[in-house]
């Protein structure tokens, strides 16, 4: 058992009469190479000497797990840190979270290169070299002439739905420990499938899965509208941190106008829009809906989205197919009052055109306002897969243009999206809703050459024990859809990835679909396609990164990457060559990365590192090759 004394300020805590120091005890690493650090935190009062153990207050335990393996066969591991807090009592819970969170931030920046964890199991801090310089004692030298393969680029996303507890959390009112365990299971399963993006639903019904001054906590999170998590924590911030730590993107998914879902059981909080602004809200079918025809309602939804963009390090903003509600036969949406108000203000559009103009204005404003604040944040929408019946000829089905007032073709043509994810939720052998022909239609109407990432109904794969009368797709259907999308990928503006609805099918590995993805189309990792049009005019991609080999331990080679550029790197693309075969991993830019020196493919003989900036642009490769020492 080792211990370290830290100033409270080092851990983000303010010194007070209650305590001025934090004593951290930690055990030796166990398990794999980095293992788990098990820490016990104690408060030391300011008025007592440092060694006054009898006056210490035991605060709790922090477990820090710093091992996340991404591609064992390829030999590339991304070393990250996860924290679990076990407070002795509620009063200490906030202190423990603050300590753990800031320890996490310290660790993730240099992954246990801190003197705090100076034990044989952990690396010592080393100053980064000014360049890739080989010495007589090293086994590696720079090799600018060696060109690694081009980065594999493909969007591989998954929707994580909170509404009705479809994916996360799996039930209302779970404990924080249960919620975090489910989050970890989802992210680990996504990483194991070599996905690279999580689309997390953070606003299912004018509520929030994060602390907000604009809307109440979601019933689907805590079991009661407006009730905060106990003990307090920020689920969205945690999702972002843990997703990025695994080298993946996180897109915040909003439902812009649904105000209450039929799976809600309890009354909405007093500050919910249905109570605070009832004149904005319409009851329709078994739902409550913000009326998009009320300008103040549109502004409220936009303000909610911009609040998240401002406060959180998200990679994208995502909307689904719900604008005006799906119609109930014989029951028109009750927006007579807002339409009359529009007419009295001089408006002359017919009601259906006016409804579309409301949604168009919302999408246009959302895109522009997000870019004013953070130009790198991607904006995407996943519309119903058929724009209108007859487009292309022979296609039949629901008319989203007329019924949902969703003119997704216009949004693409105007460039109000960075990616469009049409929900092609039909099998590849369907004639009237043909997957390939619909995909080609969306490509042909992508005038601004933005990304097309096709939505796939992976949850149509039912569990193996589902009732016989419940028809199920096979895993092969999803593999065929991915192949159809890949076959159509012929450059910018063509389909370049897929998004799976929803995570539960992959988490449960229904009928082997997760195994099939890992063994087939997602066997190797891929980087998210770049959005170069978002980069400021005249800006340059990242410069060639420098990296050093900190240590070689057993069959592991440890890398530390640094780079200097006006466009800071957010991720590293690391390629390692074993024999004649290259393997790639995408990691968070703050991570120290462990590379296996040998796999079944052979011995490692070359390493390439490229920086990826917030717009997805990649640097040229910094390459080192293994040489024989004198």
Whether 462 and 472 have beta carbons less than 8 Å apart is answered as yes
User: What would you measure as the largest C-alpha separation in the chain, in angstroms?
Assistant: 88
Return the ∠ at Cα 440 (arms to 439 and 444), rounded to 5°. 120
What does the pLDDT read at residue 251?
Answer: 99
pLDDT at residue 24 in the model: 42
Q: Over range 258-268, report the average pLDDT.
A: 97
Give yes or no for residue 167 having a pLDDT over 50: yes
Query: Is residue 127 one of the residues assigned to a domain?
Result: no
pTM of the model: 0.81
**Residue 36: strand, helix, or coil:** strand
**Whether residue 519 is found in the same domain as residue 549:** no
- Identify whether 328 is part of a domain: yes
| Residue 491, in any domain of the structure | yes
Q: What pLDDT score does 414 carry?
A: 98
Q: Which of 529, 553, 568 is the last residue of a domain?
A: 529
One domain for residues 80 and 175? no
Q: What is the pLDDT of residue 565?
A: 54
Of 499, 529, 559, which one is at a domain's C-terminal end?
529
Q: Same domain, yes or no, for 146 and 231?
A: no
User: In angstroms, rounded to a whole number, what is the distance separating the alpha carbons of residues 185 and 183?
Assistant: 5
Residue 139's pLDDT is what?
82
Q: Residue 560 is part of a domain; what is its CATH number?
A: 2.60.40.10
**pLDDT of res. 469:** 83
CA distance 2 to 39: 10
Mean pLDDT to the nearest integer, 201-228: 98
**CA quadruple 547, 551, 555, 556: dihedral, nearest 10:** -50
Give residue 590's pLDDT. 75
Average pLDDT over residues 459-482: 94
Q: Rounded mean pLDDT of 124-151? A: 62
- Residue 76 pLDDT > 70, yes or no? no
State which of 494, 529, 564 marks the end of a domain: 529
How many CB atoms are closer than 10 A to CB 52? 11
For residues 156-172, average pLDDT = 98
Range of the domain at 48: 2-117
460 pLDDT above the threshold of 90? yes
Taking residues 110-122, what's their average pLDDT? 27
Strand order in the sheet with 258-260: 258-260, 287-290, 281-284
Are residues 454 and 371 part of one domain?
yes
Place of tokens 């799906």: 326
Q: Tell me: pLDDT of 75 over 90.
A: no
Q: Using a pLDDT cut of 90, give the percent of the chain over it.
A: 70
Average of per-residue pLDDT across 551-563: 79
SS3 category, 199 = strand
The tally of domains found in the chain comes to 3
Answer whether residue 17 shows pLDDT above 50: no
pLDDT confidence of residue 372: 98
Shared domain for 468 and 544, answered yes or no, is no
Based on the domain organization, do 445 and 326 belong to the same domain?
A: yes
- Both tokens assigned to 464: 């193996």
- Per-residue pLDDT at 492: 84
Q: CA–CA separation, 238 vs 181, rounded Å? A: 12
In this structure, the answer to whether residues 146 and 164 fall within a common structural domain is no
pLDDT of residue 218: 98
Distance CA 233, CA 210 (A): 8
Statement to judge: residues 202 and 323 lie in one domain = yes
What stretch of H or E contains 419? strand 419-420
At 513-540, the pLDDT tens digits run 999 999 999 999 999 999 999 999 999 9
Pairing of strands 495-500, 451-456: parallel
Q: In what order do the strands lie in the sheet with 593-596?
A: 68-71, 76-78, 593-596, 556-562, 546-553
pLDDT given at position 550: 75
User: Which of 14-18, 305-309, 394-398 is least confident?
Assistant: 14-18
Q: What is the pLDDT of residue 125?
A: 29
What is the structure's pLDDT at 458? Answer: 98
Do 516 and 565 lie in a common domain? Answer: no
**3-state class (DSSP) for residue 606:** strand
Task: Tell me the chain's radius of gyration from C-alpha atoms.
Answer: 26
Region 198-205: mean pLDDT is 98
Is 131 a domain residue? Answer: no
Band (pLDDT 50/70/90 cuts) for residue 490 is: confident
The answer to whether residues 176 and 298 belong to one domain is yes
233 lies in the same domain as 111: no
Q: Provide the b/e sequence for 11-24 (b: ≥16 CB within 10 Å).
A: bebeeeeebbbbbb
- Residues 471, 553, single domain; the answer is no
165 found inside a domain: yes
In a domain, 367, yes or no: yes
Any idea what the CATH number is for the domain that residue 460 is in? 3.20.20.80
123 in any annotated domain? no
């Amino acid at each position: 058992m080792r211990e370290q004394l830290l100033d409270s300020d080092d851990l983000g805590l303010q010194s007070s009469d209650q305590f001025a120091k934090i004593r951290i005890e930690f055990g030796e690493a166990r398990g794999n190479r980095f293992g788990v650090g098990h820490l016990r935190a104690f408060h030391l009062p300011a008025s007592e000497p440092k060694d006054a153990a009898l006056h210490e207050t035991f605060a709790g335990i922090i477990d820090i797990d710093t091992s996340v393996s991404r591609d064992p066969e390829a030999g590339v591991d991304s070393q990250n840190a996860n924290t679990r807090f076990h407070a002795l009592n509620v009063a200490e819970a906030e202190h423990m979270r603050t300590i753990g969170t800031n320890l996490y931030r310290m660790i993730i920046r240099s992954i246990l290169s801190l003197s705090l964890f100076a034990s044989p199991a952990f690396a010592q801090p080393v100053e980064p070299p000014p360049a890739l310089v080989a010495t007589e004692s090293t086994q590696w030298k720079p090799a600018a002439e060696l060109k690694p393969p081009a980065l594999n680029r493909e969007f591989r996303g998954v929707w994580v739905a909170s509404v009705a507890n479809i994916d996360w959390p799996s039930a209302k009112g779970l404990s924080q420990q249960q919620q975090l365990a489910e989050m970890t299971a989802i992210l680990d399963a996504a990483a194991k499938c070599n996905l690279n993006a999580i689309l997390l639903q953070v606003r299912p019904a004018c509520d929030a899965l994060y602390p907000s001054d604009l809307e109440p906590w979601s019933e689907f999170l805590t079991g009661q509208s407006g009730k905060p998590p106990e003990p307090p924590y920020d689920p969205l911030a945690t999702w972002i941190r843990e997703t990025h730590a695994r080298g993946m993107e996180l897109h915040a998914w909003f439902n812009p106008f649904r105000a209450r879902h039929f799976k809600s059981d309890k009354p909405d909080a007093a500050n919910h829009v249905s109570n605070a602004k009832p004149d904005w809200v319409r009851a329709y079918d078994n739902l409550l809906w913000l009326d998009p025809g009320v300008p103040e309602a549109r502004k409220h939804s936009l303000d909610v989205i911009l609040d998240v963009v401002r406060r959180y390090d998200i990679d994208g903003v995502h909307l689904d197919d719900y604008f005006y509600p799906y119609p109930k036969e014989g029951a028109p949406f009750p927006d007579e009052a807002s339409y009359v108000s529009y007419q009295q203000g001089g408006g002359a559009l017919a009601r259906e055109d006016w409804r579309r103009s409301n949604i168009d204005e919302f999408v246009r404003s959302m895109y522009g306002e997000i870019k004013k604040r953070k130009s790198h944040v991607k904006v995407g929408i996943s519309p119903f897969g058929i724009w209108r019946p007859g487009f292309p000829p022979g296609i039949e089905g629901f008319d989203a243009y007329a019924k949902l007032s969703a003119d997704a073709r216009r949004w693409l043509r105007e460039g109000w999206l960075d990616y469009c994810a049409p929900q092609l939720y039909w099998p590849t052998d369907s004639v009237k809703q043909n997957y390939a022909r619909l995909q080609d239609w969306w490509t042909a109407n992508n005038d601004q050459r933005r990304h097309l990432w096709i939505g796939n109904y992976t949850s149509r794969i039912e569990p193996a024990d589902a009732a016989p009368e419940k028809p199920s797709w096979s895993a092969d259907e999803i593999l065929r859809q991915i192949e159809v999308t890949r076959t159509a990928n012929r450059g910018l503006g063509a389909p370049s990835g897929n998004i799976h609805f929803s995570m539960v099918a992959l988490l449960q590995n229904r009928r082997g679909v997760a195994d099939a993805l890992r063994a087939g189309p997602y066997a190797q990792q891929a980087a998210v396609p770049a959005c170069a049009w978002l980069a400021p005019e005249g800006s340059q991609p990242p410069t060639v990164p420098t990296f050093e080999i900190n240590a070689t331990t057993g069959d592991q080679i440890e890398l530390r990457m640094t780079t200097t550029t006006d466009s800071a790197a957010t991720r590293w693309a690391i390629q390692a060559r074993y024999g004649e075969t290259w393997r790639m991993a995408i990691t968070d830019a703050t991570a120290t990365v462990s590379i296996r020196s040998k796999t079944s493919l052979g011995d490692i003989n070359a390493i390439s590192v490229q920086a990826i900036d917030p717009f997805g642009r990649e640097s040229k490769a910094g390459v080192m090759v293994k040489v024989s020492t004198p």
